Chain A
């Protein structure tokens, strides 16, 4: 009654991985737009704008991702009767909402990490708030955002496994299917785990490298740096 774990099973898992990457990429792009806007509001000098952002971010970070997914899948369609959201887009919307709050925090943190003198100098030059952002703040903050941004991408890829429960066949659900078809759940889940690990670990390592480069450039060069750099990444 069970088929053995074979090439088609592996292909199904890889297809699932492709869906996982797709929905995460869409969520980061869409959530990035909302998140950057919200992050800029959170770091703005205007209190009411900061409150709007704080409520959005606080509400989303205070509830489980699973709740956001269920809410989008079960509750949103009730608010606009007759609408029919496919699983795929329900997953993308839920992960976008989730991503927007976390990206907002990363953007806010990166802007606030800049030395105060940068803002004061920009003000002294008579730049308006949008001009300060465009020419002084964002070009510098963008580099600081990269390491935590990659860290969040890893979180997002892992948490995207939760959309398996609304039936979308992504990586984890593909593993479920293979597990029940082959009767070898341990093997199926280990293969799925290995695929997650390869994707997430590669991202984690890339993030750590970028962070190290960033900190090397951020401080005045020292003789030791030349020596450690020539020895490569042996830390």
Chain B
């Protein structure tokens, strides 16, 4: 068996463009999923049992069914009731919804780790509810769970490859195209795999840097 990595050089721009789209849809899903996840957490933590049940059901249903099935529902099933999405929108939507359920659980762990005394102290100081929520609860909660959050971003980035199944032109889709046009299957998978690995590795490294350098004060 001989390998010809040189044959892939003309396809380098395609691969990098695909990687760009992978990163872009991941970023979009982070930007949409993060506030959505806070919303879902707030439902789960609500005083009204109905809202709590809705939040819990959302989290459990999303987390106990495959992302691929969620994507199929959005891309293949919704058109039957007249709702049409192009592949990229469908991919970002599925990733965002999926991401939000996992984020809601991570936020919950973060919020629950905040000592009651801090919130009571904020009350005693006369801080408004909004200020208390953002500065005493939300930001410290996020700092508490930063490692879980970046881990979730890595998982999301790897999961974005699933969008290739509905023909989103991201890295995995580009790789499949190159294997059919060049027949350099093994080489393409090795190079594509390295690209995925590299980005995942960089996210993990950035996260570690953020943990050691960026955050100097700890909560409780």
Q: Mark B167-211, 1 if CB is under 8 A from A, else 0.
A: 000001000100100000110010011001100110000000000
Chain A residues with CB below 8 A from B179, complex form: 74
Decide if A158 touches B66 in the complex (CB within 8 Å). yes
Chain B residues with CB below 8 A from A159, complex form: 66
Decide if A193 touches B68 in the complex (CB within 8 Å). no
Q: Mark A35-55, 1 if CB is under 8 A from B, else 0.
A: 000000000000000000000
**When chains A and B are docked, how far (Å) is the Cα of A11 from the Cα of B28?**
39
Q: Kindly report which residue of chain B lies nearest to residue A193, judged by CB atoms.
A: B65
Binding site secondary structure of chain A: helix
Q: Mark B5-36, 1 if CB is under 8 A from A, else 0.
A: 00000000000000000000000000000000
Q: Which of B72-80, B88-96, B117-125 has 4 or more CB atoms under 8 Å from chain A?
A: B72-80
B154 to chain A, nearest CB (A): 9
Decide if A196 touches B65 in the complex (CB within 8 Å). yes
Q: Mark A62-101, 1 if CB is under 8 A from B, else 0.
A: 1111110011001100110000000000000000000000
Q: Mark B124-137, 1 if CB is under 8 A from A, else 0.
A: 00000000000000
Chain A residues with CB below 8 A from B61, complex form: 193, 197
Chain B residues with CB below 8 A from A172, complex form: 66, 68-69, 72
Q: Which of B41-49, B140-148, B156-164 has 4 or more CB atoms under 8 Å from chain A?
A: B156-164
A189 interfacial by beta-carbon distance below 8 Å: yes
A144 interfacial by beta-carbon distance below 8 Å: no
**When chains A and B are docked, how far (Å) is the Cα of A186 from the Cα of B73?**
7
Decide if B189 touches A66 in the complex (CB within 8 Å). no
Decide if A196 touches B66 in the complex (CB within 8 Å). yes
Decide if B158 touches A64 in the complex (CB within 8 Å). yes
User: Could you say which of B73, B159, B185, B196 contacts A189, with CB atoms under 8 Å apart?
Assistant: B73
**When chains A and B are docked, how far (Å) is the Cα of A95 from the Cα of B70?**
21
Chain B residues with CB below 8 A from A168, complex form: none
Decide if B186 touches A75 in the complex (CB within 8 Å). yes
A192 interfacial by beta-carbon distance below 8 Å: yes
Whether A189 touches B193, Cβ cut-off 8 Å, given contacts A64-B172, A79-B1, is no
A59 interfacial by beta-carbon distance below 8 Å: yes
A118 interfacial by beta-carbon distance below 8 Å: no
Q: Mark A163-205, 1 if CB is under 8 A from B, else 0.
A: 0110000001001100100011110111011001100110010
Chain B residues with CB below 8 A from A70, complex form: 172, 176, 189
**When chains A and B are docked, how far (Å) is the Cα of A200 from the Cα of B78?**
24
Chain B residues with CB below 8 A from A141, complex form: none
B81 interfacial by beta-carbon distance below 8 Å: yes
B104 interfacial by beta-carbon distance below 8 Å: no
Decide if B193 touches A67 in the complex (CB within 8 Å). yes
Decide if A179 touches B200 in the complex (CB within 8 Å). no
Chain B residues with CB below 8 A from A63, complex form: 158, 193, 196-197, 200
Chain B residues with CB below 8 A from A201, complex form: 60, 64
User: Could you say which of B1, B69, B172, B185 contacts A196, with CB atoms under 8 Å apart?
Assistant: B69
Q: Mark A92-116, 1 if CB is under 8 A from B, else 0.
A: 0000000000000000000000000
Whether A179 touches B165, Cβ cut-off 8 Å, given contacts A192-B69, A196-B69, A201-B60, is no
Chain B residues with CB below 8 A from A140, complex form: none
The residue among A58, A61, A64, A201 with the most chain B CB atoms within 10 A of its own CB is: A64
Whether A185 touches B76, Cβ cut-off 8 Å, given contacts A70-B189, A197-B64, is yes
Q: Which residues of A contact B (CB under 8 A)?
A: 58-59, 61-67, 70-71, 74-75, 78-79, 154, 158-159, 161-162, 164-165, 172, 175-176, 179, 183-186, 188-190, 192-193, 196-197, 200-201, 204
Closest 10 CB pairs of A and B: A62-B197, A64-B161, A200-B64, A161-B66, A185-B77, A158-B66, A64-B158, A186-B77, A161-B68, A75-B186
